């Protein structure tokens, strides 16, 4: 996927009148990246493919456009900020514990007037649980740890969309059978060597029956 193809890919999935917000986000990201290493410098040259379209494809695997969406380890804002732009009628909860990243997320959300963002500057483990309709994460943690940490937020209707690069199938196979049966692997639309884990349901841990 070229940068022009990535732009077209995103535009096809956008609510009317909001596409330019991604141009603004890309500019904000480039400026902030001179102050802190949000993303690799080389990836800024392909920001539409590597970050924006890669985040935008998540909506293809979600059945709803509203509700509470939980993005784990939001970091530079992908996919959290991207999803907030694409789904203005959903509440996107961005969880990030690193102070400078939290400050960036807050500043970007304010600059883009993303009133549907809720930025939680804390570790997921100490965040008060709520029922998440959708859970996303990009480079947050190994799958087993990710699911255990977010189990308290899941319900039988929770939709999981977890970009996992080349390790998706391997990480899924390492899960206990009851968890493994919840998920399937989808090919990434932006990277021929990457995959996405998609599933629906509640994660049951020893403390959650």
Burial class (CB in 10 A: 0-12, 13-18, 19+), 195: buried
Q: Are 114 and 85 in contact (CB under 8 A)?
A: yes
Residues 6 or more apart from 139 whose CB is under 8 A from it?
73, 75, 163
Virtual torsion, Cα 14, 147, 123, 85, nearest 10 deg: 0
Residues 6 or more apart from 197 whose CB is under 8 A from it?
143, 160, 161, 162, 163, 164, 168, 171, 172, 183, 184, 185, 186
DSSP state of 106: H
Could you tell me the domains of the chain?
Answer: 3-200 (3.40.50.150)
pLDDT tens column, 8-61: 999 999 988 899 999 999 999 999 999 999 999 999 999 999 999 999 999 999
pLDDT tens column, 126-138: 999 999 999 999 9
Both structure tokens of 196: 């996405």
The angle formed by the CA atoms of residues 199, 169 and 202, to the nearest 5 degrees, is: 25
DSSP state of 97: -
The larger pLDDT score, comparing residue 206 to residue 10, is at 10
Residues 6 or more apart from 43 whose CB is under 8 A from it?
50, 51
Residue 207's pLDDT is what?
Answer: 47
SS3 content of the chain, % helix, strand, coil (to 5): 40, 20, 40
Residue 206's pLDDT is what?
Answer: 57
Residue 49's pLDDT is what?
Answer: 95
pTM: 0.94
d(CA 48, CA 171): 27
In DSSP terms, which residues pair with 135 in a beta bridge? 70, 160
Residue 209's pLDDT is what?
Answer: 39
pLDDT tens column, 154-179: 999 999 999 988 888 899 999 999 89
């Amino acid at each position: 996927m070229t940068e022009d193809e990535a732009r077209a890919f995103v535009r096809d999935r956008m609510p009317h009148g909001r596409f330019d917000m991604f141009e603004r986000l890309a500019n904000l990201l480039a400026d902030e990246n001179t102050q802190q290493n949000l993303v690799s410098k080389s990836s800024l040259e392909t920001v539409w493919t590597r970050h924006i379209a890669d985040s935008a494809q998540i909506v293809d695997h979600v059945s709803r456009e509203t509700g509470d969406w939980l993005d784990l380890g939001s970091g530079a804002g992908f996919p959290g900020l991207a999803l907030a732009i694409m789904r203005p009628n959903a509440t996107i909860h961005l969880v990030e514990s690193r102070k400078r990243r939290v400050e960036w997320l807050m500043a970007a959300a304010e600059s883009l007037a993303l009133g549907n963002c809720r930025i939680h500057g804390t570790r997921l483990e100490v965040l008060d649980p709520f029922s998440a309709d959708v859970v996303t994460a990009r480079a947050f943690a190994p799958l087993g740890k990710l699911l255990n940490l977010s189990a308290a937020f899941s319900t039988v209707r929770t939709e999981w969309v977890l970009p996992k690069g080349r390790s998706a199938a391997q990480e899924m196979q390492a899960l206990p059978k009851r968890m493994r049966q919840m998920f399937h692997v989808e090919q990434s639309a932006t990277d021929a060597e990457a995959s996405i884990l998609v599933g629906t349901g509640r994660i049951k841990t020893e403390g959650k029956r």
